[in-house]
């Protein structure tokens, strides 16, 4: 693929290769002044290594990344330029941004982090290999996501604020940060009173409450572009609950074989509801007896990505880059999908 042609088309530059900055926020300098949670660092490294492995297999691509000096070096291909954030006032991000043609951000939505990075990339006239900032803003809020999807006819979990009138027929309640990310801030309580007492005692974030749904926790891996979506995988997620807190254990990529047509329809509705979603997008949902109920949207890489290449027999990073010059319908309609287990380090260090 002539990716240099893409750069010349966007910026009218004559370059031999495209330089892509693969930026993982947690391990790449974003937490330079904060404590790093080992399970999240492990997951970030896992996703970053999978992404870089895919990018370096493509022709005419050079990869740049950043690395926190507190962390050990990653086993990356020799061609990858790793910039240490040690001593850099901007934690290396601005330096690598200026040195690259395109940026693939892997960052949390919470506190507006991914949205700000996305806007900064576009403002500096670099190719953003991710969803538009407007879509990230919607996906960053569980309330905004729920409202947007419900208006589009998507079945989505009911979400309440602590001062709302809560239904009395709910057996258990799940409490999450409205702009949280993943499950490390997610708690479960057996009554609304216990949930509200915990929220009142925390005094930290804006929390929301959702009824606990019985069913199978699942996720979709999507390729999105301008209101269209292609379903790459339908995965089963594994969780444990300890001390009322959810802990992510891993994902079985493409292990859900039933309801493919329904998942395709769901993917299409979500992409149309939030047309700014672009590239790799993940959707969490509960597969209930009456069908899928959406929990949230992640406009960035998730752990499922780490098993995607092996599962579909196709380079997912290449599919994303293809979106820069082709329509989404160029994705093969039928891919050879196999189950790939991606395990997360959860309980070793907390």
Taking the C-alpha atoms of residue 42 and residue 46, their distance in angstroms, rounded to an integer, is 6
Confidence of residue 181 (pLDDT cuts 50, 70, 90): low
- Provide the 10 A C-beta neighbour count for residue 139: 28
Residue-wise pLDDT tens digits, 220-237: 999 999 999 999 999 999
Q: Is the pTM higher than 0.85?
A: yes
> Which has more pLDDT, 39 or 195?
195
> Is the distance from CB of 66 to CB of 106 less than 8 angstroms?
no
Taking the C-alpha atoms of residue 308 and residue 310, their distance in angstroms, rounded to an integer, is 5
Which residues are bridge partners to 18 per DSSP? 61
Residue-wise pLDDT tens digits, 286-301: 999 999 999 999 999 9
H-helix or E-strand containing 139?
Answer: helix 133-140
H-helix or E-strand containing 270?
Answer: helix 260-273
What's residue 4's pLDDT? 41
What's residue 349's pLDDT? 45
Average pLDDT over residues 241-269: 91
Dihedral of CA 229/230/232/233: which sign? positive
Per-residue pLDDT at 12 exceeds 70: no
% of residues, the chain, pLDDT over 70 = 88
What's residue 15's pLDDT? 56
Average pLDDT, the chain: 89
Kindly state the tokens that stand for 346: 């959860």
Residue-wise pLDDT tens digits, 100-143: 999 999 999 988 999 999 999 999 999 999 999 999 999 999 99
What's residue 136's pLDDT? 98
Alpha carbon of 172 to those of 58, 71, 220, 291: distances in Å?
A: 48, 39, 25, 20
Per-residue pLDDT at 2 exceeds 50: no
Taking the C-alpha atoms of residue 345 and residue 239, their distance in angstroms, rounded to an integer, is 12
Domains along the chain with CATH numbers: 3-129 (3.40.50.11770), 138-156+215-343 (3.30.470.20), 173-211 (no CATH)
């Amino acid at each position: 693929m002539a990716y240099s042609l893409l750069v010349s088309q966007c910026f009218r530059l004559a370059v031999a290769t495209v330089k892509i900055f693969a930026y993982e926020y947690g391990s790449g300098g974003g937490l330079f002044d904060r404590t790093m949670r080992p399970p999240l660092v492990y997951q970030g490294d896992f996703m970053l290594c999978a992404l870089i492995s895919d990018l370096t297999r493509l022709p005419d691509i050079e990869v740049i990344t950043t690395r926190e000096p507190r962390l050990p070096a990653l086993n990356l291909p020799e061609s990858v330029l790793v910039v240490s954030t040690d001593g850099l006032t901007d934690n290396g991000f601005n330096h690598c941004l200026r040195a690259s043609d395109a940026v693939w951000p892997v960052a949390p939505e919470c506190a507006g982090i991914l949205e700000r990075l996305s806007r900064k990339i576009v403002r500096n006239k670099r190719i953003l290999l991710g969803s538009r900032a407007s879509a990230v803003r919607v996906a960053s809020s569980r309330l905004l996501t729920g409202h947007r999807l419900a208006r589009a006819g998507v079945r989505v979990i009911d979400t309440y604020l602590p001062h709302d009138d809560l239904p009395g027929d709910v057996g258990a309640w799940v409490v999450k940060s409205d702009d949280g990310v993943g499950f490390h801030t997610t708690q479960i309580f057996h009554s609304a009173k216990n949930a509200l007492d915990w929220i009142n005692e925390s005094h930290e974030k804006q929390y929301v409450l959702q009824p606990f749904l019985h069913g199978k926790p699942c996720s979709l891996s999507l390729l999105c572009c301008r209101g269209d979506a292609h379903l790459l995988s339908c995965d089963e997620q594994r969780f444990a609950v300890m001390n009322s807190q959810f802990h992510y254990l891993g994902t079985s990529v493409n292990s859900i074989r039933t309801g493919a047509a329904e998942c395709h329809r769901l993917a299409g509705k979500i992409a149309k509801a939030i047309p700014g979603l672009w590239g790799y997008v993940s959707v969490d949902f509960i597969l209930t007896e009456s069908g899928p109920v959406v929990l949230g949207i992640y406009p960035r890489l998730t752990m499922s990505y780490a098993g995607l290449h092996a599962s579909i027999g196709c380079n997912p990073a290449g599919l994303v880059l293809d979106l820069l010059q082709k329509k989404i319908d160029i994705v093969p309609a039928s891919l050879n999908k196999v189950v790939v287990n991606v395990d997360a380090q959860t309980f070793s260090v907390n």
